[in-house]
Amino acid sequence: MKKLVLAVVATLAFGTAALAGPVKIGVAAEPYPPFTSPDANGKWVGWEIDFMDAICKQAKLDCVVTPTAWDGIIPALTAGQIDVIMSSMSITPERMKTIDFSDKYYNTPAMIVVAKDSTITPDAAGLKGKIVGVQVSTTHAAYTQKYFAPVASEVKTYQTQDEANQDLGAGRIDAIMADSIAMADFLKSDAGKACCKSAGNVKDDPEILGQGVGFGLRKGDPLKATLNAAIAAIRADGTYDAITKKYFDFDIYGAKK
């Protein structure tokens, strides 16, 4: 046990030694509740923000939330405009060609949401001839392109998930695909309750949907070891579970793969 503790301390020290100033944590600029969204005063709140605060405290990092356009968030990281991506980004083989990832910090399935009176099922047969909406530059967009685009009448892409949700509610599209937790939050809202329902989760494809959500980092950044050690530490000491219980009544970490 002492060896494990010493290893964690050494890892944290190694990762933080190279950091001269605040760590810029890039989050998608649009609201993505219950993970990240600005409150009435413009302060960013949500599960990922609380999680970030715990990680940065554990790792003794000075972290600054840096809102960044989602479709430009990886280029912003590689260009040095931000230091870490923390925006519910799935760990996928395609993204790992460009950036590194920390260990996962949550993993939830993807869901199809439809109008209340719809009989659509969450598969190619159910979406045949339908208009499917999805947020651009996401794993859900890649999944939709592979499995649903060949049979759908149209796949519409949106810059934000809110825009897709609004079009579904207005009847301009037949279905949307997104993260199940984000969709559960939408379906609890007044707008979601009035218009829509879950059609169910899609069949998993780890090559596209990834192995969970992690911090995105530049290739070779020693901060990766620091963040991994901090994730392990707050999961071990109960901090992770305490944060999660404030937002969810189920386990969002997911089973090991």
The yes-or-no verdict on residue 18 having pLDDT over 60 is no
Of the CA atoms within 13 Å of residue 1, those in its CB half-sphere come to: 1
Report whether pLDDT(116) > 50.
yes
Q: Which residue has the tokens 């596209």?
A: 208
- Is the pLDDT at 173 greater than 50? The verdict is yes
Write down the mean pLDDT value for the chain.
91
Beta-strand (E) ranges in 30-125?
A: 37-38, 44-45, 63-68, 84-85, 100-106, 110-115
Q: What mean pLDDT do residues 115-120 have?
A: 98
Its CATH architecture, for the domain 2-107+211-245, is 3-Layer(aba) Sandwich (3.40)
Of 2-6, 68-72, 143-147, 206-210, least confident by mean pLDDT is 2-6
Task: Provide the sign of the torsion angle of the four alpha carbons 113, 115, 116, 120, taken in this order.
Answer: negative
The whole-angstrom separation of Cα 9 and Cα 18 is: 15
Which among 33, 25, 15 has a CA at the least distance from the CA of 181?
Answer: 33
Of 244, 257, 191, 219, the residue nearest 50 (C-alpha): 244
pLDDT band of 6, cuts 50, 70, 90:
very low
Residue 8 pLDDT > 90, yes or no? Answer: no
Over 70: is that where the pLDDT of 65 sits?
yes
- Domain 110-208, CATH homologous superfamily name and number: Periplasmic binding protein-like II (3.40.190.10)
Gyration radius from the chain CA atoms: 19
CB atoms within 10 A of CB 167: 16
Q: How far apart are CA 102 and CA 232, in angstroms?
A: 11
Give bridge partners of residue 156 from the DSSP assignment. 133
Res 257 pLDDT > 50:
no
Q: Which residue type sits at 144?
A: T
Shared fold status for 2-107+211-245 and 110-208: yes
Domain ranges of the chain: 2-107+211-245, 110-208
Average pLDDT estimate for 153-157:
98
Q: Would the pLDDT of 150 be above 60? A: yes
CA distance 191 to 177: 17
